Amino acid sequence: METIPGKDLDDLLQAVGDPFQFTLDLSLYDGQPVFTADYEPMMAAVLLIEFASSDLWRDHLRLSNFTSCEGVMSTEEGRRAALRCMFDTATRPLPEFLSTPTKIIAAVRCLEGLQCLNIAEVVITWAWTAGVINPVDHDAWGLVGRDTLRFYQTHGMGRLIALKRHIIDTTMEDEHLAFLKARCGGTPCRVRSVLQPVPTTDAPQSEHYTDLRLSQVCQLKKIYHLFSYDPTTRKEGVTLEEGDETVNVSLGASVTPMSLVDWACDYP
């Protein structure tokens, strides 16, 4: 991989193009019907996002690789599909997928540079998924927290509503638990030391589902902690509302958000 010339990387990414505008139909070969290829554009897009975190590939990506993907990820359904695919990617074919704060931040910065803010926000959302980063690694969370704060202060606090919604989302619990089993061999919530196997039947009250939901509470608490005011300036905050969603966030240069350093969820 490290010996691939830059021109070859440019040619390859140009050939890949925009995954959502690419069609592969092999139904005819020498005039004879064969089959239609099973092509997953979201998987291709997720791999391109991983390339955005790589020193080798980053500078060769172009906006044309992400144009349609940026539109897809502007919707709730598109973001959820991307995150589900990210779970699947990190669980099986690519265990190191966006697995460190350095890779996550590099991908976000690259996508920002390409003006792909919706995709960059999905990467930030991935970072805040319970279990992606060790819950008690304060140095790692300090890096992620500072870049998260920078992103939303730069591009709009209203985007926080989507992040909060993802953290409390329960529609991908099975994929999430399978990812945790593969990545951690255990649970990110310190309620129990061993994550029990994912059941084959629906068991919403089982212990491992409870562990996952507790860890999501911890993540949500981290978000509130990161964006909270000092009590003496809390009156300067604003409330963002979207339907039934309400998020209190900090705005303004006079406010110094609280640090994540030396803070951890207080669940057992």
What 3-state class would DSSP assign to 214? helix
Q: How many residues in total does the chain contain?
A: 268
Cα angle 136, 137, 138; round to 5: 95
Q: Is the pLDDT of residue 256 over 60?
A: no
Over range 254-258, report the average pLDDT: 39
Instruction: Report d(CA 172, CA 84) in Å as an integer.
Output: 7
Quick one: pLDDT at residue 6? 85
Enumerate residues 6+ apart whose C-beta is below 8 A from 183.
90, 91, 95, 99, 131, 132
Q: Is the pLDDT of residue 112 over 50?
A: yes
Q: Is the pLDDT of residue 235 over 90?
A: no
Q: Name the strand (E) or helix (H) holding 43.
A: helix 41-51
Quick one: pLDDT at residue 79? 95
Q: Is the pLDDT of residue 257 over 70?
A: no
Quick one: pLDDT at residue 191? 45
Confidence of residue 136 (pLDDT cuts 50, 70, 90): confident
Q: Is the pLDDT of residue 67 over 60?
A: yes
Where are the chain's structural domains?
A: 6-249
Taking all residues of the chain, what is their mean pLDDT, rounded to a whole number?
A: 78
> Over pLDDT 90: what percentage of the chain?
41
> Over pLDDT 70: what percentage of the chain?
70
Structure tokens at 210: 């409870």
* 79-98 residue pLDDT tens: 999 999 999 999 988 989 99
Enumerate residues 6+ apart whose C-beta is below 8 A from 184.
131, 195
Quick one: pLDDT at residue 30? 60
Q: Name the strand (E) or helix (H) holding 106.
A: helix 101-113
Give the up-direction half-sphere exposure of residue 94: CA atoms within 13 A in the CB hemisphere. Answer: 16
Low-confidence winner among 56-65, 127-136, 210-219 (lowest mean pLDDT)? 210-219
Query: Model-level pTM?
Result: 0.79
